[in-house]
A and B are shown apart, each in its own frame.
Chain A
Amino acid sequence: NAGVTQTPKFQVLKTGQSMTLQCAQDMNHEYMSWYRQDPGMGLRLIHYSVGAGITDQGEVPNGYNVSRSTTEDFPLRLLSAAPSQTSVYFCASSYSNRGTEAFFGQGTRLTVV
């Protein structure tokens, strides 16, 4: 098992550019989520999904889109990057209804200039 894989690990964008952060898991987890972490802060939930075709907003969804067409993948799209979106992004997955641990990817460090 590879666990939760995020790509890319590092990215620099110019203001106004768009990009997609990729997240894939091979554990057949129903639940996937995206967080952002700013310097010195805890993780804040952006969007989450409880299964293919189902997504919902978290605490800080503005400026981000998600979709879940397969169980394995949960991409995060930035439509028009802004400097305020400079952050480290983490993807996580877990079983929906077993109350067990969530697995996190190693993060994508995004800088918007």
Chain B
Amino acid sequence: DAKTTQPTSMDCAEGRAANLPCNHSTISGNEYVYWYRQIHSQGPQYIIHGLKNNETNEMASLIITEDRKSSTLILPHATLRDTAVYYCIVRVAYSGNTPLVFGKGTRLSVIA
């Protein structure tokens, strides 16, 4: 069963912030939230991950609610190259036997 729920698709105007929501209401205390994206048919690309604090890197920001039941990935200034399928994954980190389990993700279309 999927551990995360994401909208099937979203649109965003080029240059605007893209806010991609993810619901993970059954997340455990030792599970992290990971975000990956897949551009066209390429291999997935890691974006960011976090446990409970907000995280930011050169690609995106991750905002996790205080109860950890949902999160939002923010692409601050979306470009056409950000058009992709975005996957939100919960996973026990620092555990050698825990694979990444992908759902269907959110298809983000950035529009000029």
Q: Are A42 and B96 in contact (CB under 8 A)?
A: no
Interface size class of B (residues with CB under 8 A): 20 to 34
Contact status A99-B41, CB under 8 Å: no
- The A-contacting residues of B in range 59-103, CB under 8 angstroms, are 87, 93-97, 99-103
A50 interface residue (CB < 8 Å to B): yes
Complex Cα distance, B42 from A105, in Å, reads: 8
| B28 touches A (CB below 8 Å) | no
A42 to B105 alpha-carbon distance, docked (Å)? 7
**Do residues B99 and A33 form an inter-chain contact, with CB atoms below 8 A?**
yes
Report chain A residues within 8 Å CB of B21.
none
A43 touches B (CB below 8 Å): yes
Instruction: Give A33 to B99 CA distance when docked, in angstroms.
Output: 8
B104 contacts A by Cβ under 8 Å = yes
Of B41, B87, B93, B104, chain A has the most CB atoms within 10 Å of the CB of B41
Q: Are A96 and B42 in contact (CB under 8 A)?
A: no
B44 touches A90 (CB 8 A): yes
Q: Which residue of B43, B49, B99 contacts A45 across the interface (Cβ within 8 Å)?
A: B99
Assess the A99–B96 pair: CB atoms within 8 A.
no
Question: Among the listed A4, A58, A96, which residue makes an inter-chain contact with B96, where contact means beta carbons less than 8 Å apart?
Answer: A96
Given contacts A90-B43, A102-B46, A105-B43, contact A43 B99 (CB under 8 A): no
Given contacts A31-B96, A59-B101, A97-B96, 14 further A-B contacts (CB under 8 A): A4-B43, A42-B87, A42-B105, A45-B99, A50-B96, A51-B96, A56-B97, A90-B43, A90-B44, A97-B95, A99-B49, A101-B46, A101-B49, A107-B41
Residues of A in contact with B (beta carbons under 8 Å apart): 4, 30-31, 33, 35, 41-45, 48, 50-51, 56, 58-59, 88, 90, 92, 96-99, 101-107, 109
What 8 A-B pairs have minimum CB-CB distances, sorted nearest first?
Answer: A99-B93, A104-B43, A101-B46, A96-B96, A42-B102, A43-B102, A99-B94, A50-B96
